[in-house]
Structure formats: C-alpha cells, structure tokens
C-alpha cells in the first residue's frame, strides 16, 4: 500500500508536543469529506454509508523521532488507496529558559540598521521600537534629573507608573522572551546560540533522513512521497533542515543502474525550461506554475527510479518570517544575494551554473561515473542535482496573511518568491508560489468579495473556527478559503 508522509514543523513559543499536529490533522484530513469513500464502512462503528462521520486516524508509536513524547498519526486509506502518516518535528524543548541577554542583541541589530537597510515590511516596527527606546531614555533622564535636584512627584503617579511597569514586564516576558527569544536564539549565530542551533538542525536532519531511508517489510521504500509543512519560525528551521539534508544525500544514486540506463528525459525537460527562462532579459521572469511543478514532479520520480533518495515533493510554509530573509538570514539584501549565489541558501528555482562541456547552464552536474557508451546521450546524461538545487525536485508553496496597520493580518508573514528567486546575469527567475489567505486579496491588494481583514491571524492558518460567515464550512466539499488553499497545496494521500 502506498504511503504519504507529512512532517509538520511547529513555530515559536512554548509548544506542547502533539497539540499543534492534532489541530493540523483535523484541518487537512479528519474534516475533509472528499478524501475517503463514503461507501466504505466506518472502521470505528461499521456504519455504511457514512453520514457526518469524520475520516479516521490512529495514534501510533513514532519510531522516527526517537521521542516518547511524540506519536505518529496514521490514517485509514484515502480514495487513492494511499495511507498518510503525520509526524511532528518537535524542537521547542531546545529553546527553554530564554533570557533577555538573548533578545537584546537581536533587537539592537534591527535598531542600529540604517533606514535603507530595514526591510520594508518591518519598517513600521523599526520606527515603533525607536520611538519606544527614545521615550524610555527620555523618562530615565527626567527621573535622574528629578532625583539629582531633589524633585519628588508622589501620589497617584507612583502607583500608575508602577502598575504600567508591572504590566509591561509581564507582557514582555510572556511575549518577547517565550516567542521572540526563540527567534533571536535561532537566527543569530552567536557563540551562546551555536550549540542550540546545532542540536535542532542535527535532530531534524537525522529525523528527515530516517523517513527518507525507511523501508517496509518487503525492503521497499516505506514512503513514496514526503511533504514538509512548517509554521512561523518553524519555516526557517525546516528550510535549514531540508537544505542540510539535501546536501548530504543529493549525490546518492545507483551507479550500476545509471550505467545501464543513463537517459534522463524528465531532468532534460526541466533544465531546458530553466535554460530558456535564464536567457530572458528584464527585471524578473515568473515561471508558469503548472509547467514548472509538473516538470519538478517528473524529475523527482525519475531521480527516485535511478536510485536517488530525495522524496520531498513539497515544502509548504505558513506565516513565514522568511519574507524578512534579508534581516533574518543575512546582514542585508546584498549579503543575502551573495550567499544565494554561492549556494549557502537554496533558491527556487535553483541557481544555474555554466557547464563547460555542454556549454550550457545547468542545475544538475555529471556525477563522474562510467556509463554505457552504447546508449545515446545527447543531453549529457546522467546528471545529479548540485547541493543547492533542492528546488529542482521540490515545490515551494508559501501561504501568508496580508498585513495592514500591523494588527490586521499577519505581520510575521509575507511573500517569498521574489526574495528566493534565482538571480541570473539578465533576470531573476521566480519559482516559489505565494498564496494570500485570511483574507485572499485581489490584484489591487484589497480583500476579495465576501472576505474582510481579521485581527492577528498568525495562528489561524489551519483554524476550523472562523469568525465570520465567509470562512465557515458551507457543506460537503465547501470549506473556508484558507483551509482549501492548504489542502490544495498539500494534496494529502496523492503520490
């Protein structure tokens, strides 16, 4: 029986193991009436046909995570005949006991930037932080002045300011330390953070490799397809884990099989598409999503048929701070581009390199093995993806909530496709897909008909409890826009 593995990477804050995963499974599996044949008997009650019966799943031991706190949620068969295994990559325990000394350098790093180096989406926050900092400094100076000259202002003002200070302290500790403390400790490669970053990444790479290499009782790959879904800061964690894992196994091929059959028509089709777009001039060229994704899927299946291990079909980001990558991952936009060109950060589509033999631009390179010279190889097959070409075999869908006035929508999230497009001498190729939800917006940036902006949507990407009628379930097959967008990207049960 075919199996589809879905890995969920949680976001920042003091997360409880399995709590995030259970809510996610309810949204993409349990409540979707189109996934399971309604004529199949309900495995819990034996009821046939099913009427108002949720899709069933079971909690089983998770042998992949090496943690007794986590369970694998496995499902009954979908109509496609595929079963789905949902896993949670849990990393919050590595971030316990955040301290102000972890957060202050990160905030200072943002504050001390020149205005032109502050990413546009966070410029308002930058102004607010500076205003609050100057106000605090002003208050301190006034206090010192009053103290120096013996001026005392007692009465209700002492009580009021003491109460304000207490409230600010509680909110700052609850919000800043437990959430943004995670961000500061993960994204800043300071000596105090390196060990924690290493533990999280190593745990994640080992976990993903176990899933990619898992075998069934017949010594066949356990999973035909793997999807990685990440939320909030977890999207940066997942991006790192995927990048490092891909760089470790991208060269894994079956040399004997390749020598006998080096033809790679799907890889050739994908590279020809990228070569054609690479030659275009202009500020940017946006790849046709259906064409690009179809060629990625074909190239990945071909890669697996020839002994490759990379089964990750989709990277789905929800509420991702990767939209602020020029601040989160690098010093500024120029430094980010520099690192991308050198394959530190994988781009979508991948950065192409010039091949002297074929005199063309390639995302795949020759693995240096002997091949059957009797086989026609007009395209220079066989080839394997270079270590930064993860998005030659994996599709990236970024789901975000457009922000307005800081508190409406999701300030953390935003588009990523322009930031992570691959830069060429003449254009920037755009391959990632951005999907605005909560609310969906029209080309003019306004909410589409029947939708309105909501307050603070960062934790609502798989929420089944919408607050207004346009996002309520209407009946069989009808679902809130943000849930349907997530389901369309994930394609649960399809291999």
- Taking only the tens of pLDDT, the chain with its 495 residues reads 789 999 999 998 768 999 999 999 999 999 998 899 988 899 998 988 888 889 999 999 999 998 999 999 999 999 999 999 999 999 999 887 666 666 666 666 666 777 776 666 666 666 766 676 676 666 666 666 566 655 555 444 545 555 555 555 545 455 555 556 677 788 877 788 899 999 999 999 999 999 999 999 999 999 999 999 999 999 999 999 999 999 999 988 877 777 777 889 999 999 999 999 998 888 899 999 999 999 999 999 999 999 999 999 999 999 999 999 988 898 888 999 999 999 999 999 999 998 887 788 999 988 766 555 544 444 566 889 999 999 999 999 999 999 887 788 998 899 999 999 999 888 999 999 999 999 888 877 788 887 888 888 999 999 986 544 444 443 445 688 999 999 999 999 888
Is there a single domain that holds both residue 296 and residue 442?
Answer: no
Count of structural domains within the chain: 3
Q: Please count the other Cβ atoms lying within 10 Å of the Cβ belonging to residue 65.
A: 22
Give me the pLDDT at residue 327, please.
83
Q: Report the sign of the C-alpha dihedral through residues 215, 390, 325, 315, in that order.
A: negative
Nearest CA among 383, 340, 335, 342 for reference residue 363: 383
Is 61 within the bounds of a domain? Answer: yes
**364-368 contacts: CB < 8 A, separation 24 or more?**
364/267, 364/271, 364/389, 364/392, 367/251, 367/253, 367/255, 367/258
Question: Phi, psi (5° rounding) for residue 74?
Answer: -115, 145
- The answer as to whether 85 is a domain residue is yes
Beta-strand ranges (E) seen in 245-311 are 285-286
Alpha-carbon gap, residue 415 to 453, rounded angstroms: 17
Q: Residue 35: which of 47, 23, 27 has the closest Cα?
A: 27
Q: Are residues 233 and 263 in the same domain?
A: no
Structural domain includes residue 16: yes
Among 265, 246, 248, 239, residue whose Cα is nearest residue 317: 239
What is the helix (H) or strand (E) element at residue 215, kind and residue range? none
Residues 299 and 402 in one domain: no
Q: At what angle are helices 191-213 and 233-249 packed, to 10 degrees?
A: 60
Q: Could you tell me if residue 426 is inside a domain?
A: yes
d(CA 394, CA 90): 22
Examine the domain organization and report whether 86 and 215 are in the same domain.
yes
In a domain, 125, yes or no: yes
CB-CB contact of 358 with 448 (8 Å): no
Query: Are residues 319 and 411 located together in one domain of the fold?
Result: yes
- Of 173, 189, 205, which residue sits at a domain end? 189
Residue 28 lies in a domain: yes
In 3D space, the residue among 230, 240, 231, 228 whose CA is nearest the CA of residue 186 turns out to be: 240
Same domain? For 9 and 76 the reply is yes
CA–CA separation, 158 and 221 (whole Å): 68
Q: Are residues 139 and 235 in the same domain?
A: no
How many whole angstroms separate alpha carbon 286 and alpha carbon 306? Answer: 30
Q: Is 165 in a helix, a strand, or coil?
A: helix
Q: Which domain holds residue 368?
A: 255-307+353-387
Residue 423 falls within a domain, yes or no?
yes
On whether both 418 and 473 belong to a single domain, the answer is: yes
Of all helices (H) and strands (E), which one includes residue 164? helix 156-171
| Burial of 178 per CB tally in 10 Å (0-12, 13-18, 19+) | middle
The reported pLDDT for the residue numbered 474 is 36
- Residue 495 falls inside a structural domain: no
279 lies in the same domain as 405: no
Looking at 336, 368, 387, which one is the last position of a domain?
A: 387
Give the β-pairing of 422-423 and 428-430.
Answer: antiparallel
* 418 & 346 share domain: yes
Return the number of other C-beta atoms located less than 10 Å from residue 167's C-beta: 10
Q: 428 and 370 in one domain?
A: no
Question: Are 223 and 274 within one domain?
Answer: no
Q: Which of 169, 189, 209 is the last residue of a domain?
A: 189
End-to-end CA distance of the chain: 11
């Amino acid at each position: 029986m075919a199996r589809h593995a879905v890995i969920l990477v949680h976001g920042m804050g003091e997360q409880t193991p399995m709590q995030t995963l259970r809510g996610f499974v309810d949204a993409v599996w349990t409540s979707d009436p189109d996934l399971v044949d309604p004529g199949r008997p309900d495995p819990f009650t034996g009821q046939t046909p099913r009427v108002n019966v949720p899709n069933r799943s079971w909690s089983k031991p998770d042998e992949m995570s090496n943690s007794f706190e986590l369970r694998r949620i496995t499902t009954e068969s979908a109509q496609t005949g595929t079963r789905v295994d949902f896993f949670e990559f849990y990393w919050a325990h590595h971030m316990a006991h955040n301290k102000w000394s972890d957060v202050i350098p990160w905030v200072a790093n943002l504050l001390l930037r020149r205005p032109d180096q502050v990413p546009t989406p966070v410029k308002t926050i930058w102004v607010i932080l500076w205003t609050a900092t100057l106000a605090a400094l002003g208050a301190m100076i006034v206090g010192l002045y009053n103290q120096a000259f013996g001026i005392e202002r007692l009465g209700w003002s002492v009580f009021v300011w003491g109460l304000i200070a207490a409230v600010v302290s509680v909110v700052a500790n609850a919000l800043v330390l437990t959430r943004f403390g995670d961000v500061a400790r993960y994204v800043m490669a300071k000596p105090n953070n390196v060990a924690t970053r290493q533990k999280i990444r190593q745990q994640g790479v080992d976990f993903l490799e176990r899933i990619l290499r898992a075998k069934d009782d017949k010594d066949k790959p356990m999973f035909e397809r793997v999807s990685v879904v990440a939320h909030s800061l977890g999207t940066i964690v997942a991006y790192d884990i995927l990048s490092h894992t891909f760089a470790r196994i991208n060269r894994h091929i079956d040399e004997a099989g390749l020598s006998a059959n080096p033809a790679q028509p799907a890889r050739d089709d994908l590279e020809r598409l990228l070569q054609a777009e690479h030659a275009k001039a202009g500020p940017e060229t946006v790849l046709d999503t259906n064409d690009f994704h179809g060629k990625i899927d074909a190239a990945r299946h071909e890669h697996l048929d020839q002994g490759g291990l990379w089964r990750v079909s989709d990277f789905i980001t929800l509420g991702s701070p990767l939209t602020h990558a020029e601040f989160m991952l690098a010093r500024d936009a120029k430094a980010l581009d520099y690192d991308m060109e050198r394959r530190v950060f994988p781009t979508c589509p991948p950065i192409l390199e010039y091949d002297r033999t074929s005199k063309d631009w390639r995302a795949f390179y020759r693995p240096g093995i002997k091949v059957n010279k009797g086989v026609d190889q007009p395209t220079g097959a066989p080839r394997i993806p270079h270590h930064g070409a993860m998005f030659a075999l994996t599709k990236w869908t970024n789901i975000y909530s457009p922000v307005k006035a800081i508190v409406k929508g999701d300030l953390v999230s935003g588009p990523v496709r322009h930031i992570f497009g691959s830069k060429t001498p003449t254009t920037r190729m755009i391959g990632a897909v951005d999907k605005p939800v909560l609310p969906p917006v029209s080309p003019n940036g306004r909410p589409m008909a029947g939708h309105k902006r909501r307050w603070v949507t960062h934790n609502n990407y798989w929420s089944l409890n919408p607050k207004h009628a346009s996002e309520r379930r209407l009946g069989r097959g009808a679902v809130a826009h943000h849930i349907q967008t997530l389901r369309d990207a994930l394609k649960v049960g399809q291999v």
